[in-house]
Amino acid sequence: MSSIPLGKGHETTAPARTNSAAAISQFLSAYVFSKDHKIIGLQFLFSTLLWFLVGGLLALGIRWQLAWPWTNMPIIGPMLFSETGGQISPEFYTMLFTMHATVMIFFVIIPILAGAFGNYLIPLMIGADDMAFPTLNMLSYWFMWPAFILVGSSFFMPGNGAAAGWTSYPPLSAVWDAAPSSGLAQTLWLIGITFVGVSSMMGSVNYMTTIIQMRAPGMTMFRLPMTIWGMFITAVLQAFALPVLTAAGFMQLLDRTIGTGFFLPEGLVINNSIAASGGGQPLLWQHLFWFYSHPAVYIMILPAMGMVSDIISCFARKPIFGYKPMVYSLCGIAGLGFIVWGHHMFVSGMSPMLGMTFMISTMMIALPSAVKVFNWLGTLWGGRIQYTTPMLFAISFVSMFVIGGLSGIFMAATPVDIFIHDTYFIVAHFHYVLFAGTAMAVMGAIYFWFPKMFGRMMNEPLGKVHFFLTFIFLNGTFFTMHILGAVGFPRRLADPYDYQTFAHLMPMNQFMSICAICMVGTQAIFAFNFFYSIFYGPACGRNPWGANSLEWMAPSPPGHGNFDFQPVVYRGPYEYGSPEVDTDYYPQTQPPPEGVDPNAEPDHH
Amino acid sequence: MGRFWSFLFLLVPVLGVAVFLWALLDLWPMQGHWLPENINDHGHVIDQLFMFILYLTGIIFVGTGGVLFWFMWKYDAAQNREPVKFTHGSHTLEVVWSILPAAALLFIAIYQMNAWADAKMRRPLDSLGPDGIEGTADDVYKPPLCEVTGRQFEWRIRYAGEDGIIGTADDLHVVNDLHLPVNEEVVVQITSMDVLHSFFLPNVRIKQDVVPGMKQFVWFKPNKQGTYDIVCAELCGWGHYKMRGRMVVESRDKFDAWIKNAYSEQERSEYIVSAGGSDE
């Protein structure tokens, strides 16, 4: 950024008009339609953080209804729903959880990991000057905008937004008469999601090519930081799984628009009208959808695992424990990730025989996850742990991921899943993985790489307060969901208290909602710290954390082209506390002292 | 501050276990915050498996949480004066902590299979058919007691009339009111006429999505009289939350009397029922 010339037009006087036009076009190409991976990464970061706020507010709507059903929402209620006197209507509630999930998954988690951090970090961490295909990279960001606009405008269509669940199961999603929002809102949603897929696909091709082709001299695959491994495996997953979702999305779109009936069986009578087509199978959509969306669960966590590994090793001041097993377990998760989609469908009507097969593969995928947890603990063992804000977030990822991983075993077990399927036990599980896991890792990553992105440090005490409160409130919100799940409390009900089985659960829901409101409120501390530090944080040098990997050798923030020297890599990124040098870190680019074999492999035994 | 953060992370296993214990022991303010009463003869297997996995994962949860706390406490840079242990890992440890969980997970999976087969695959039989071998095409299945059809947003229930066949003119039609005889193996045929629903009986530990175009069966043996919830557990539209049915388990005599009475009422008000059945 620092090396990009800006506003040159104002330095000369004559002819001002063409010069200001030139300045504008220069500004546009430098900051808007930029092909620089760092600018694109920051564009993704700012867009996704904004959507994070939207998704969080949608979640508060859900929590409001579950804690105080059919009561007037203070302040916001009368503005949004004047016709109901400020209450959330049941159709609005179904929209809330549909759009909360859509926004969080497609507009926040996937693009913030692959789009923001993938873009920013991949060329820097492998020692390249940019991505392999800069124009494609720019397009991958700008293809998000049709998605933002389409899904965003679905809020203003009849029904106030898609409301068939983020899984969009037909026939509910495919038949126009099935729900108030089944018209344009659902169509726009489908097209929007397709654009997200196209964007991810462009990114994925670029990441794979860049990582394979553009590594600096000496940067072998087994000297890559875990972050890059996470991004690489994620890109592979996207490349193989996304086409299926795109195809399925188009099939559903055709079902909706020209009546193909891929997913609609014969003889449907919906809302007293007869759906004309037939000959299809609703389960087909579920198979196709989860064939993408289960690997997508790993797309949403593997890069986070990678970033956490880097942060933990850096602040334990110690090499990562079992680098190769960590890489192999990432690959194992990715491979098994393709054959576990059926565990979303144990009670869907899928052959119960197949359920047994999927149970075994699902149980097995817990194994590489367990190996990773043990290796993170091994990394902490015998270190000299510095409790910085990024480190606290990274440790909390490990601690929380254990909960999310273990609760997965319950639902992998088919008989137990019969009872807990579609209850809050599931909701607890994926929020522990995606919020307490990935979102916390992303927070840690922002605190960690912020100095590189903006050349300034974020405020540490504020960061710790932010961490502490988020950590407390997230557990207050999500841990209790396990208990609700044990009672069988179902998801997606606008008013569960009508059932005698669940009527007594309202106080616990109120406790959770209060925690959730506080948790969202806490993020104001982060927002303040983030924006304040961009402008007023203390300036930092190239390597404020004393880290080893290549991005810390570049200027902060790096200029166009990234490095002001040609990085040559001598070792892996985790040689903290090496006896070969006096410092407690040992950058990848630092030549070894005389008499040390630069090609010696570290001892793994 | 390392001490403080260590204790914060120690709270995770401590409070985590405490919350579950509190719910398990039914203490204030969490009375009734656990598995709802099970009234199915086959349902306790699912509860046992749930508890089995809970104990097993609980041990891992406490173990890893404890280790994390101990490492955070002991290797705090502000307290620990020892040089870092410069190691890249341990082949032996990797092998150990791969094989042990793999064996445990495989065991859990295989241990579940019988319960799964009982719940979803071994549909009750009346006889084994002429060849006397189970699992062949001529097996005679126990006929369903009734058929439950999901529809936005109600459960339509149909009992066979005197001819014992569902789908004939003498059927009994009711809405959201499932009556069952106690202590008898019951087979219920479930289907949907519009979108996906899920037939969820929390007290019977049964859940099965109903799919339009597919005919499915659930079976169970209720062993306690009373009134219980029928829940729709798959999003079926804006009124999903109000798709609530009632399951009444009663003695055989009462059940027979109810069927007879309901059927006679239906005969008398034939036109009113059919006219009122399609309202929304």
**Helix%, strand%, coil% for chain A, nearest 5:** 65, 0, 35
Q: Residue A19: its pLDDT value, please?
A: 79
Q: Which of A164, A483, A602 shows the shortest C-beta gap to B19?
A: A483
Which pair of structure tokens corresponds to residue A446?
Answer: 């922002």
- Phi, psi for B36 (deg, rounded to 5): -65, 160
pLDDT for the residue numbered A87: 87
User: Is A567 part of any domain?
Assistant: no
Which residues have C-beta within 8 Å of that of residue A458, sequence separation ≥ 6? A389, A447, A450, A451, A529, A530, A533, A537
Residues 148-167, chain B, touching A (beta carbon < 8 A):
152
> How high is the pLDDT of residue B274?
46
Place of tokens 């726009």: A188
d(CA A539, CA A559): 16
Compute the distance between CA of residue A551 and CA of residue A125 in angstroms, rounded to an integer: 5
Residues of chain A with pLDDT under 50: 1-15, 605
pLDDT (tens digit per residue) in B111-159:
999 999 999 999 999 988 888 888 888 889 999 999 999 999 999 999 9
Q: Which residue do the tokens 């491979």 mark? A: A335
Find how far residue A1's CA is from the centre of its chain.
26
Nearest alpha-carbon partner for A463 in A446, A475, A486, A480: A446
Residue A597, exposed/middle/buried by CB under 10 A (0-12, 13-18, 19+)? exposed
Beta bridge partners of A121: none
CA-derived radius of gyration, chain B: 26
**Quick check: B57 pLDDT over 90?**
yes
Is A571 inside a domain boundary? no
Q: In Å, how far is B130's CA from the nearest CA of chain A? A: 26
ipTM of the complex: 0.93
**Of the candidates A455, A459, A546, which has an alpha carbon nearest to the alpha carbon of residue A42?**
A455
Chain B interface, best mutation among A360, A363, A377, by max B CB count within 10 A: A363
Q: Does A282 touch chain B (CB under 8 A)?
A: yes
Q: Band of the pLDDT at B55, cuts 50, 70, 90? A: very high
Residue A594 tokens, joined? 């005389």
Q: Are B144 and B213 in contact (CB under 8 A)?
A: no
Q: Which of B31, B89, B105 shows the shortest C-beta gap to A363?
A: B105
pLDDT at A6: 41
Q: How many residues does chain B have?
A: 280
What's CA B242's distance to the chain center, in Å?
A: 20
Chain B: nearest CA to A322, how far in angstroms?
4
Considering the domain boundaries, does residue A299 fall inside one?
yes
Closest C-alpha among A568, A467, A401, A381 to residue B85: A381
Q: Is residue A489 part of a domain?
A: yes
Dist. CA A162–CA A149, nearest whole Å: 14
Distance from CA of B272 to the nearest CA of A (A): 18
In a domain, A584, yes or no: no
CATH of the domain at A296: 1.20.210.10
Rounded distance, CA A296 to CA A61, Å? 26
CB of A477 closer than 8 Å to CB of A516: yes
Measured distance CA(A129)–CA(A138) in Å, rounded = 15
> Does some domain include residue A566?
no
Q: Which fold has domain B141-276?
A: Immunoglobulin-like (2.60.40)
Task: Indicate whether A265 belongs to any domain.
Answer: yes
Specify the 3-state DSSP secondary structure of B210: strand
Distance, CA of A459 to CA of B207 (rounded, Å): 50
Q: What is the pTM of this model?
A: 0.94
Domain that residue A128 falls in: 35-553
Q: A114 near A235, Cβ under 8 Å?
A: yes
Residue B209 distance to chain A (closest CA, Å):
5
- HEC letters along A556-597: CCCCCCCCCCCCCCCCCCCCCCCCCCCCCCCCCCCCCCCCCC
pLDDT at B211: 95
Q: Quote the distance between the C-alpha of residue B238 and its chain's center.
A: 23
Tokens 């058929």: give the residue. Answer: B147
> What pLDDT score was predicted for residue B245?
96
Contact indicator for A77, A137 with CB cutoff of 8 Å: no
For chain A positions 407-446, those within 8 Å of chain B (CB to CB) are: 407, 409-410, 412-416, 418-423
Query: Does A599 touch chain B if contact means CB atoms closer than 8 Å?
Result: no
- Give the pLDDT confidence score for residue B198 in this predicted structure: 97
pLDDT the model gives residue B67: 98
Distance of CA A543 to the CA centre of its chain: 27
What is d(CA A447, CA B177) in angstroms, rounded to the nearest whole number?
57
Backbone angles phi, psi at B136, to 5 degrees: -100, 170
Q: What per-residue confidence (pLDDT) applies to A531?
A: 97
Residues of A in contact with B86 (CB under 8 A): 318-319, 577-579
CB < 8 Å & 24+ apart, contacts of B138-143: B141/B187, B142/B185, B142/B187, B142/B219, B143/B187
B206 touches chain A (CB under 8 A): yes
**How far does Cα A114 stand from its chain's mean position?**
8
Q: Which residue of B has its CA nearest to A360?
A: B109
Q: List chain B residues with CB under 8 Å of A283.
A: 211, 214
The pLDDT of residue A271 is: 80
Judged by CB atoms closer than 8 Å, whether chains meet at B241 and A380 is answered as: no
Q: Count of A–B CB contacts within 8 Å? A: 342
Phi, psi of B250 (to 5 degrees): -145, 175
Distance between CA atoms of A310 and A321, rounded to whole angstroms?
11
**A292 contacts A241 by C-beta, under 8 angstroms:** yes
Cα distance between residue A603 and residue B17, in whole Å: 39
pLDDT digits (tens, 9 = 90+) for B154-196: 999 999 888 888 888 889 999 999 999 999 999 999 999 999 9
Domain boundary assignment for chain B: 2-78+94-121, 141-276
Residue carrying structure tokens 């398990």 = B24
Residues written for chain A = 605
pLDDT score for A269: 87
What is the tally of structural domains in chain A? 1
What gap in Å lies between CA A279 and CA A323, rounded to an integer? 51
E strand or H helix at A352:
helix A352-380
Q: Is residue A19 part of a domain?
A: no
Contact (CB<8Å) A395/B213: no
3-state secondary structure of A348: coil
Instruction: Determine the Cα–Cα distance for residues A185 and A157; give it in Å rounded to an integer.
Output: 5
In this structure, the dihedral spanned by the alpha carbons of residues B166, B167, B173 and B179, taken in order and rounded to 10 degrees, is: 10
Measured CA to CA, the distance from residue A315 to residue B71 in angstroms comes to 13
Tokens of A83: 């016709």
3-state DSSP call for residue A445? helix
Chain B contact set for A352 (CB, 8 A): 116-117, 120-121
